[in-house]
């Protein structure tokens, strides 16, 4: 899980806060040097800097109790807020742009997974009368960023060639969920996005404090079901390549979970409409 280790008594969040000051300076220098260049080039360089920081501290952060994870990622979020406020408005660069670039650079197959989940989520939402434009935009962004916490998970673990141990499975599912949720929830205009993401592994038993299956909104069920289905069919995950299912097999597993029947049925119809499974 990486070489970085800080004793609990040393205060990991204070170390992260201190180091984030250094990275904020690096962010600012990049933004200043790249001013006037194409926005996507600046986004990619800022994303790369965020990846560098997350690789340094993330593996230790995701192992900690939720209260420590929250304290650590708040420092990262505050750094991103400060950066976004310092960028010239004409650049039209937002924090989601930087986060999306970061996950793509850290682990391209995860970025591809997020795009597929966004597509199937939006297809499904149309079939379950989830029509409010603002809520659909929020769901779309939640799908695009639902695995942002994986920038804190080492590539060696995401690309492991053998089955994950129960401890490693927890590091990935619990760790990336809490890291991503608290990162986005620390940014006021992304809190609705964070709330959807916070429920994403509720059926695996992982959720932020105060969350429960009983309070899970429809948007979160749509995202969770779409994510679960794509994970089952994703043969890019080496640690479960031999366990990947066909879309037809995967939708059966979706129905076995206690999702809202409307959501499971909508997901099935979305798969049929997209030609991924036959209509018979």
Q: Inform me whether the pLDDT recorded for 4 exceeds 70.
A: no
Share of the chain above pLDDT 70, in %: 88
Mean pLDDT of all residues in 151-164: 89
> Residues 56-111: pLDDT tens digits?
999 999 999 999 999 999 989 988 888 888 777 777 789 999 999 999 999 999 99
Find out whether 11 and 64 touch, Cβ atoms under 8 Å.
no
Q: Inform me whether the pLDDT recorded for 2 exceeds 50.
A: no
- The DSSP secondary-structure symbol of 52 reads H
Region at 2 (left for phi over 0; alpha for psi -120 to 50; beta for the rest): left
Identify the CATH class of 8-273: mainly alpha
Angstrom CA distances, 256 to 90, 164, 201, 246, 249, stand at 49, 23, 15, 16, 11
Confidence of residue 180 (pLDDT cuts 50, 70, 90): very high
Q: Inform me whether the pLDDT recorded for 191 exceeds 50.
A: yes
Q: What is the pLDDT of residue 5?
A: 40
Angstrom CA distances, 7 to 10, 12, 16, 62, 68, stand at 5, 8, 13, 14, 13
Question: Greater confidence, 27 or 227?
Answer: 227
Distance CA 66, CA 126 (A): 35
> Residues 216-235: pLDDT tens digits?
999 999 999 999 999 888 76
Distance CA 164, CA 169 (A): 6
Separation of CA 159 from chain center: 17
């Amino acid at each position: 899980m990486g070489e970085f280790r800080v004793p609990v008594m040393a205060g990991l969040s204070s170390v992260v806060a201190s180091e984030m000051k250094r990275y904020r300076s690096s962010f600012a220098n990049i933004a200043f040097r790249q001013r006037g260049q194409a926005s996507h080039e600046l986004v990619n360089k800022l994303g790369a800097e965020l990846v560098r920081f997350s690789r340094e501290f993330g593996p230790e952060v995701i192992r900690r109790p939720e209260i420590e994870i929250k304290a650590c990622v708040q420092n990262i979020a505050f750094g991103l807020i400060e950066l976004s406020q310092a960028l010239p408005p004409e650049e039209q660069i937002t924090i989601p742009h930087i986060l999306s670039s970061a996950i793509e650079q850290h682990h391209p197959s995860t970025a591809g997974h997020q795009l597929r989940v966004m597509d199937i989520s939006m297809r499904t939402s149309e079939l379950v009368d989830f029509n409010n434009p603002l809520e659909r935009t929020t769901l779309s962004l939640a799908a695009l960023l639902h695995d942002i916490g994986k920038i804190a998970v080492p590539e060696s673990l995401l690309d492991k060639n053998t089955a994950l141990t129960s401890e490693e499975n927890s590091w990935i599912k619990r760790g990336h969920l809490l890291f991503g949720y608290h990162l986005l929830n620390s940014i006021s205009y992304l809190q609705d996005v964070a709330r959807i993401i916070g429920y994403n592994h509720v059926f695996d038993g992982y959720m932020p404090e105060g969350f429960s299956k009983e309070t899970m909104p429809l948007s979160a069920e749509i995202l969770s079901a779409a994510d679960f289905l794509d994970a089952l069919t994703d043969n890019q995950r080496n640690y479960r390549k031999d366990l990947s299912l066909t879309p037809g097999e995967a939708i059966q597993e979706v129905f076995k979970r206690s999702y809202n029947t409307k959501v499971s049925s909508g997901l099935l119809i979305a798969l049929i409409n997209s030609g991924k499974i036959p209509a018979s």
